[in-house]
């Protein structure tokens, strides 16, 4: 959807396309920034300045696509969780305690995976905010470089700190996300071990596979 937003603006003059697209993209991020450039100050920026802002704006498009992918992955995991819950009931009806253990292990793995996926959505959401901060920093740099409306005296420190703080938060949350993924992988390994043991004991390949 975001790519289509940009495409709709390709027929407009570059400066107008940029000034229309950036606020619209920013609104999709859902979180406000402390420091935002007044776009009126960019009306006289050069073609090179437009390209600087456009390059930064592309980061928003990428971040929003990544957020969409993370949301889709979370929905898929939740769908699999429902299937796992049903698989436990089916195994209980068949009165196969070992098969119940396998199904329960699958459910535990997916619960850990859901926790990771939820954290990933939050991380990607923060990534959109950081991408927006990148755009604001790029616009602030254009104002200073091109001396737009007294831009030589324009202080970039707040914009740089805003971006740096978000970058640091992204890095820290990324580490936490990796730890959650490792926990999920450990649960996955336990589930696979039980599946192999079940098949080795019963020779029942079908029951060992239908819970995928």
pTM: 0.79
Q: Are 110 and 84 in contact (CB under 8 A)?
A: yes
Q: What is the mean pLDDT of residues 26-42?
A: 75
The better pLDDT of the pair 20, 53 is held by 53
Of the ranges 15-19, 55-59, 70-74, 159-163, which one carries the lowest mean pLDDT score?
15-19
- pLDDT over 90 (residue 91): no
Paired tokens of 79: 């769908």
Task: Evaluate the CA torsion angle 79, 85, 89, 91 in order and state its sign.
Answer: positive
* Helix (H) / strand (E) containing 203: none
Of the ranges 53-62, 80-89, 112-121, 128-137, which one carries the lowest mean pLDDT score?
80-89
Q: What is the 3-state secondary structure (H, E, C) of 73-107?
A: HHHHHHHHHHHHHHHHHHHHHCCCHHHHHHHHHHH
Q: What is the mean pLDDT of residues 1-18?
A: 42
Our measurement of the distance from residue 166's CA atom to the centroid of its chain's CA atoms, rounded to an integer in Å, reads 14
Q: pLDDT band for 87, please (50, 70, 90 cuts).
A: confident
pLDDT 10s digits, 129-160: 999 999 999 999 999 888 887 667 778 999 99
Tally of domains in the chain: 1
Question: What pLDDT sits at residue 116?
Answer: 98
Question: What pLDDT sits at residue 61?
Answer: 96
Paired tokens of 4: 């289509």
Question: What pLDDT sits at residue 207?
Answer: 60
The better pLDDT of the pair 73, 156 is held by 73
Domain containing 72: what range?
2-209
pLDDT 10s digits, 37-71: 988 889 899 999 999 999 999 999 999 999 999 99
Environment class of 109 (CB within 10 Å of its CB; exposed 0-12, middle 13-18, buried 19+): buried
Q: What mean pLDDT, rounded, does the chain reach?
A: 83
Q: What is the mean pLDDT of residues 186-205?
A: 86
The better pLDDT of the pair 154, 191 is held by 191
């Amino acid at each position: 959807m975001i790519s289509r937003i940009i495409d709709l603006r390709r027929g407009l003059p570059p400066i107008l396309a940029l000034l229309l697209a950036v606020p619209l993209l920013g609104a999709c991020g859902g979180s406000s920034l402390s420091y935002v450039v007044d776009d009126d100050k960019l009306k006289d920026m050069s073609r090179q300045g437009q390209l600087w802002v456009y390059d930064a704006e592309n980061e928003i498009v990428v971040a929003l696509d990544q957020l969409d992918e993370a949301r889709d992955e979370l929905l898929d995991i939740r769908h699999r969780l429902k299937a796992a819950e049903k698989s436990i009931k089916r195994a209980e009806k068949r009165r196969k305690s070992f098969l119940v253990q396998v199904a329960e292990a699958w459910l535990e793995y997916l619960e850990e995976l859901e926790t990771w996926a939820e954290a990933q959505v939050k991380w990607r959401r923060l990534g959109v905010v950081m991408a927006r901060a990148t755009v604001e920093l790029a616009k602030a740099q254009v104002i200073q470089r091109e001396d737009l409306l007294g831009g030589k005296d324009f202080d970039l420190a707040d914009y740089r700190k805003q971006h740096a703080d978000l970058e640091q938060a992204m890095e820290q949350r990324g580490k936490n996300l990796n730890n959650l993924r490792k926990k999920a992988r450990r649960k996955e390994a336990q589930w696979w071990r039980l599946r192999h043991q079940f098949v080795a004991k019963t020779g029942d390949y079908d029951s060992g596979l239908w819970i995928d």
